[in-house]
Amino acid sequence: MIHAYQIVVLAPYVAALVLVAIPGYRVGAIANVLASGVTFGAGLWLIGSARRVGDYAIVDEFNIVFIAINTLVGFTTALFSASYIGHEIETGRLPSSFVRFYHAMFQAMMGSMNLALIANNIGVMWVGLELATLITVVMVGLYRTPQAIEAAWKYFILASVGISLAFFGTILIYLAGQPALGEGVPAMTWSLLQAAATRLDPAILDLAFIFLLIGYGTKVGLAPLHAWLPDAHAEGPTPISAVLSGLLLNVALYILLRFKMIVAGQPAALDPGPVMIVMGLVSLIFAAFMLYQRRDIKRLFAYSSIEHMGLMVFAFGMGGPLANFAGLLHMAMHSLTKSGIFFAVGHIAQAKGTQRIAEITGLSVTHPRLAVVFALAVLAICGMPPFGVFASEFLILTTTFAREPWLALLPAFGLLVGFGALLMRLQGTIFGEPVGPAHRVDASSVPMVLHLLLVLTAGIYLPPMLVVWFRRAAELLG
Amino acid sequence: MNQAYEVSHLLAGAMLVTSFALLYQERIAAVLNAFAAQSITLALAVAWAAWSQDRPDLFITALIALVLKGIVIPVALHRTVQRLGIHREVEKVVGVGIALVVGLALTGLAQALVLKVAHATASHAREELALALAIILLGFLMMILRRNAVTQVVGFMSMENGLILAATGARGMPLVVEVSVAFSVLITLFVFAVFVFRIRERFDTIDIEALDRMRGDRR
């Protein structure tokens, strides 16, 4: 009997093998969408299927939230990329011989992320995230321009250092678990480690968590380890920027939270909360100020991702059912909104033939429909009601205010600063005299409208079923 | 039992010495030789662990370290360096003296940290872990202090050597992980190789300095 969780991991890998063999761009793109659709279907099936804890795989409320978002955004990104990459080939930015490779890599990346999410073994989690990272490194360098190669190199160097430190942290967790759980696989099984948390050596756990926080924190994009993130977003193909911001950062955060759950279970070890609060706030406020100096539109939204990842880490650092709930909700809303924004940015870059913000003006005149969607998406990420991001940000701030009134001022300040920067940029791109070329946009607008509708719906009416589900996941987080 | 500890200590210590050797080399060819020596020592250390802990699966890891990192990669990089005509000196950020002092400080830090924190672990595993952490930090230092793409690659692989030493030092750590580490090194090399060639193709140099001129935001 094959289970949904197996399909979620295996379908993308099988698809990758098939896609390598498909030479034509059109057939490849359709196959890519189909494969992502199958994975998304398996993700939906997983929500309805029984929770289980095995030796190597775990399915609980917490990781299903991540898997559902991962497979959904993977599917819509495949849809977007099918029309987007066609345009890139026509304009000659991407040699058509690369497309086969691109599609296979896309599926392999999705499979690796799902592997990391489903794994119950801390070593396998690490392998999944590392594979996904290495694949995105190659994808970022896909255009082979000097800027793309610099971005990929920087990403690669920083990511490998992160990878190495995270692995050392994983070894330390094994050493901490070994006396209690014995040698071999059990001491690397997450569920057993968590159950035995009180018997783990607190001193080694402290050291391990520092390594894991720095290692996986590099992947989450926490300041000051974020240097790779803006470059990687700006220089890679836009569908990859959408997946990086919407999914890969989440997977890294997910793994960090799994380790937080282990360390928090041992009262004698250091409390991960305050460390995460500080790192989250530093990232949030730093990124908010950096938004003002951006000249490249994808770089702008990359910094906005750092800002929001900072807010999530802050919320999870606060802990407790309500803050965790808000953090999870914000994670979901940010993934949907930010990948939607990157889809829109892809359209804009194709319409204006540039990513420079100064050269993107007067969209409301030349591309009215695109301008409306883009404006709404940016307002959504700014935290304007009635969109879902408003709901999650409001929840994070109010729970913080109820517990630590003074502390709530800092994230509120950071969000306001970021709000100002994004609105300022938005005004320039939407209004004003249109300058430069205004090409027709062929890419499909279905994915970005869909994302925006989902975020809008979540902001107006969150189905009780979803609330119960997220609440259970938040309780698991402790 | 004691003899087993002594030998594995000796080998781990020898690896640390080669880490320092990597730091003070003046020529790229010498850096590659020092790296090969470190990888071969790692292979011996892992093989010794396989024999003394009675874990035959570790021999695979030892073999991978010996063949891939001890022979294939150094030879391939030697060739690359010759073909690119850069078999000259290592471009450094700071002098050898400062690099060695910082390296010594990092080694001291690693020892102090691990020996203090892991007091409950078996003494053998603890000391091996301390040596491994020192090797990882020295690899890290090398990546920071060297400007050239090839030497950065070597610094990274030296870090990986330290990681494998740490993983074998942790008794009974499942094979899954070792295979994955070896696997990752393979992919890593593939990616690195691609970049080394692409950087060459685009800039006619593999000096990372050239990349710094391309800062994306100032276009």
- Looking at chain A, which residue has its C-alpha nearest residue B141? A161
pLDDT tier, B193 (very low <50, low <70, confident <90, very high otherwise): low
Interface A-B, measured as beta-carbon pairs within 8 A, has a size of: 144
The verdict on a CB contact (< 8 Å) between A150 and B214 is yes
Most A CBs within 10 Å, among B58, B109, B115, B121, to test the A interface: B121
Reduce the DSSP state of residue A52 to 3 states and report it: strand
Token pair 């920071």 is at which residue? Answer: B144
Residue A449 banded pLDDT, cuts 50, 70, 90: very high
C-alpha–C-alpha distance, residues A396 and A331, integer Å = 12
> Which runs of E-coded beta strand occur in A111-239?
none
Q: What is the rounded distance in angstroms from the CA atom of residue A409 to the CA atom of residue A277?
A: 13
Domain range list for chain A: 271-478
Are A319 and A477 a contacting pair, CB within 8 Å?
yes
Number of neighbours of residue A24 by Cβ within 10 angstroms: 12
Residues A218-224, mean pLDDT to the nearest whole number: 90
- Closest C-alpha among A313, A314, A315 to residue A326: A315
CA A428 – CA A426 distance, rounded (Å) = 5
From CA B217, how far away is CA B219, in angstroms rounded? 6
* Confidence band, pLDDT 50/70/90 cuts, at residue B214: very low
Question: What's the pLDDT score for residue B120?
Answer: 65
Cβ(A449)–Cβ(A373) below 8 Å = yes
Supply the angle between the helices A202-220 and B96-117 in degrees, to the nearest 10: 130
Domain count within chain B: 1
Contacts of B96 (CB under 8 A, 6+ apart): B23, B24, B26
Inspect the interface and report whether the beta carbons of B120 and A203 lie closer than 8 Å: yes
End-to-end CA distance of chain A: 33
- Tokens 């320039």 map to which residue? A428
Classify residue B146 by its DSSP letter.
Answer: B
Where residue A60 falls (left for φ over 0; alpha for ψ -120 to 50; beta otherwise) is: beta
The pLDDT assigned to A407 comes to: 93
Q: Is the pLDDT of residue B215 over 50?
A: no
Residue B218: pLDDT band (50, 70, 90) is very low
d(CA A243, CA A409) in angstroms, rounded, equals 31
Average pLDDT over residues A12-28: 89
Q: Is A319 exposed, middle or buried (0-12, 13-18, 19+ CB in 10 A)?
A: buried
Q: What Å distances lie between residue A211 and A208, B127, B133, CA to CA?
A: 5, 18, 11
- pLDDT over 50 at B216, yes or no: no
β-partners of residue B146 are: B92
**Chain-wide mean pLDDT for chain A?**
90
Q: Which of A164, A175, A178 sits opposite B159 (nearest CB)?
A: A164
- pLDDT, residue A40, reads 95
Residue-level pLDDT at A94: 80
On whether the CB atoms of residues A451 and A340 are closer than 8 A, the answer is yes
Query: How far, in Å, CA of B70 to CA of B57, rounded?
Result: 19
Among A134, A144, A187, beta carbon nearest to B191 = A134
pLDDT of B219? 39
Nearest CA in chain B to A144: B198
Instruction: Name A1's Cβ contacts closer than 8 Å, sequence gap at least 6.
Output: none
Chain A residues touching residue B176 (CB < 8 angstroms): 121, 123-124, 127, 185, 188
Residues of B with Cβ-Cβ distance to A130 under 8 angstroms: 180, 184
Alpha-carbon gap, residue A272 to B52, rounded angstroms: 38
Q: Which pLDDT does position A406 carry in this prediction?
A: 92
Mean pLDDT calculated for residue range B158-169: 86
Tell me the one-letter amino acid at B147.
R
pLDDT band at B154 (very low <50, low <70, confident <90, very high): confident
Low-confidence winner among A76-80, A381-385, B200-204 (lowest mean pLDDT): B200-204
Cβ-contact A264, A478 below 8 angstroms: yes
Q: What is the pLDDT of residue A219?
A: 92
Asked if A149's CB is within 8 angstroms of B199's CB, the reply is yes
pLDDT of residue B190: 55
**Residue A152 in this model has a pLDDT that exceeds 90:** no
Chain B nearest C-alpha distance from A223 (Å) = 18
Alpha-helical segments (H) within chain B: 2-24, 28-52, 58-64, 73-84, 96-117, 123-145, 149-169, 175-203, 208-212
- Note whether A160 contacts B180, CB cutoff 8 Å: no
Spatial contact of A301 and A290, defined as CB atoms under 8 Å apart: no
CB contact under 8 A, A183 and B172: yes
Residue B126 predicted with pLDDT over 90:
no
A191 CB neighbour count, 10 Å cutoff: 16
Nearest Cα neighbor of A234 from A299, A291, A290, A293 is: A299
The string of DSSP letters for B37-95 reads HHHHHHHHHHHHHHHHTT-TTHHHHHHHIIIIIIIIHHHHHHHHHHHHT--SBPPBSS-
Task: Round the CA-based radius of gyration of chain B to a whole number and report it.
Answer: 18
> What percentage of residues in chain A have a pLDDT greater than 90?
58
CA distances for A25 relative to A20, A22, A136, B190, angstroms = 11, 8, 20, 25
Round the average pLDDT of chain B to a whole number and report it.
77
Alpha-carbon span A167 to A135, nearest angstrom: 18
> In this predicted model, which residue has the larger pLDDT, B66 or A324?
A324
CA-to-CA separations, A336 to A457, A469, B89, in angstroms, rounded:
12, 18, 50
Instruction: Identify the band that residue B185 occupies on the pLDDT scale cut at 50, 70 and 90.
Output: low
Q: Which has the higher per-residue pLDDT, B31 or B123?
A: B31
A426 Cβ contact partners less than 8 Å away, ≥ 6 residues apart: A374, A375, A378, A379
Residue B29 structural domain: 2-218
User: Model confidence at B143, in pLDDT bands (50, 70, 90)?
Assistant: confident
Q: Give me the pLDDT at residue A362, please.
A: 85
ipTM above 0.90, yes or no: no
* Pair B35, B157: CB distance under 8 Å: yes
CA–CA distance, A342 with A243 (Å, rounded to integer): 9
Strand partners, B207: B148
Chain-centroid distance of CA A145 in Å reads 25
Among B170, B173, B195, whose Cβ lies nearest the Cβ of A152? B195
Minimum distance, in Å, between the CA of residue A335 and any CA atom of chain B: 25
- Report, in angstroms and rounded to the nearest whole number, the Rg of chain A calculated over CA atoms: 21
The structure tokens listed for A181 are: 């759980």
The pLDDT score that the predictor gives to residue A62 is 92
Contact A298, A234 (CB under 8 A): yes
- Per-residue pLDDT band for B168 (boundaries 50, 70, 90) equals confident
The answer for residues whose C-beta is within 8 angstroms of residue A29's C-beta and 6 or more apart is A81, A82, A85, A86, A99, A103
Q: Count CB atoms within 10 A of the CB of residue B3.
A: 8
By percentage, how much of chain B surpasses pLDDT 90? 21
Are A458 and A386 within 8 A, CB to CB?
no
Write the CA distances from B19 to A7, A171, B140, integer angstroms.
44, 21, 11
* pLDDT tens digit sequence for A197-219: 999 988 889 999 999 999 999 99
Helix (H, G, I), strand (E, B) or coil at A296: strand
Q: Maximum distance among all alpha carbons in chain A?
A: 70
Given a contact cutoff of 8 angstroms between Cβ atoms, the answer to whether A129 and A252 are in contact is: yes
